[in-house]
């Protein structure tokens, strides 16, 4: 979201709350203190993982349902200190994981670390023993050519390298499904645009934000879309409407 307080100021946060979603997952809140997260409607319980670096990273889950368990550690010291991971369990049958993956660097200096964290995350998700699980977040990876405006130009660039795209392949092979692609198999759609060159106005973007879910939940999807009307950030939110067959 490129900053919680920035989204407050430009009105996009209130617009997000107007969606009346049951669960909201935010990445890059850039908050350093829990008290800085304000103006949340009273029906939401709020769970955060803050970064040790002021004004950087940070993830949050807001939910109308009280979780039975909340975790903020994936088992990697660097990643865990940066405030990039949070998990909420709702009983033994449903888990939501929210992540903000590292970029990898334009010079790709940090790409090996990003790939390592990706594999750690895939194993972590596979180890969650419940019948329904979701993995949401900013992955800083465009998976297919339809997920980036200039695919050929970006083939060797960070966020679209062969190795990064293979991470998404591995994630899907582990038993999760890309909710957006499940019902929009060919649509050229983006969730992030660079600030430069009027990229958003010209729709020169990337789809790097995802909601993955257990394959057995795909048949319950009613709609999965990217909400372009939200303009308060370089990202737009993804909205998943799904019929849950039991109470959380």
- Active-site residue 100, yes or no? yes
Answer yes or no: are the C-beta atoms of 136 and 96 closer than 8 Å. Answer: yes
- pLDDT tens-place string over residues 112-127: 999 999 999 999 999 9
Is 138 marked active-site?
yes
Burial 167-206 (b: 16+ CB within 10 A, else e): bbeebbeeebbbbbbbebeeeebbbbbeeeeebbeeebbb
Q: Backbone dihedral region of 3: left (phi > 0), alpha (psi from -120 to 50 degrees) or beta?
A: left
* Digit-coded pLDDT (tens) for 86-103: 999 999 989 999 999 999
Spatial neighbors of 85 by CB under 8 A, at least 6 apart, are 49, 59, 72, 73, 74, 79, 97, 98, 99, 100
**pLDDT tier for residue 34 given thresholds of 50, 70 and 90:** confident
45-98 pLDDT per residue, tens: 999 999 888 878 999 999 999 999 999 999 999 999 999 999 999 999 899 999
User: Which pTM does this prediction carry?
Assistant: 0.95
Neighbours of 44 (CB within 10 A): 17
Task: Identify the active-site residue in 47, 100, 190, 210.
Answer: 100
> Which among 4, 47, 89, 138 is annotated as catalytic?
138
Averaged over 207-211, what is the pLDDT? 98
Token pair, residue 63, equals 């939910």
Class of domain 4-242: alpha beta
């Amino acid at each position: 979201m490129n900053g919680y307080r920035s989204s407050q100021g430009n009105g996009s946060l209130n617009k997000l709350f107007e969606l009346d979603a049951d669960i909201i997952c935010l990445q890059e809140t850039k908050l350093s203190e829990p008290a800085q997260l304000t103006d949340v409607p009273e029906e939401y319980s709020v769970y955060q993982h803050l970064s040790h670096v002021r004004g950087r990273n940070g993830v949050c889950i807001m939910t109308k349902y009280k979780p039975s368990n909340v975790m903020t550690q994936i088992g990697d010291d660097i990643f865990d200190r940066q405030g990039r991971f949070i998990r909420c369990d709702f009983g033994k049958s449903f888990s939501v994981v929210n992540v903000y993956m590292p970029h990898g660097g334009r010079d790709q200096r940090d790409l090996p670390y990003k790939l390592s964290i990706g594999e750690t995350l895939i194993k972590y998700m596979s180890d969650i023993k419940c019948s329904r699980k979701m993995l949401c977040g900013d992955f800083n990876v465009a998976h297919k050519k339809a997920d980036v405006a200039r695919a050929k130009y970006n083939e060797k660039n960070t966020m679209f390298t062969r190795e990064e795209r293979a991470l998404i392949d591995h994630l899907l092979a582990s038993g999760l499904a890309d909710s957006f692609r499940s019902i929009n198999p060919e649509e050229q759609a983006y969730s992030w645009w660079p600030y430069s060159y009027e990229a958003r106005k010209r729709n020169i973007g990337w789809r790097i934000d995802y909601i993955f879910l257990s394959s057995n939940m795909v048949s319950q999807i009613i709609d999965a879309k990217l909400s372009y009307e939200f303009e308060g950030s370089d990202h737009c939110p993804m909205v998943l409407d799904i019929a849950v067959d039991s109470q959380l």
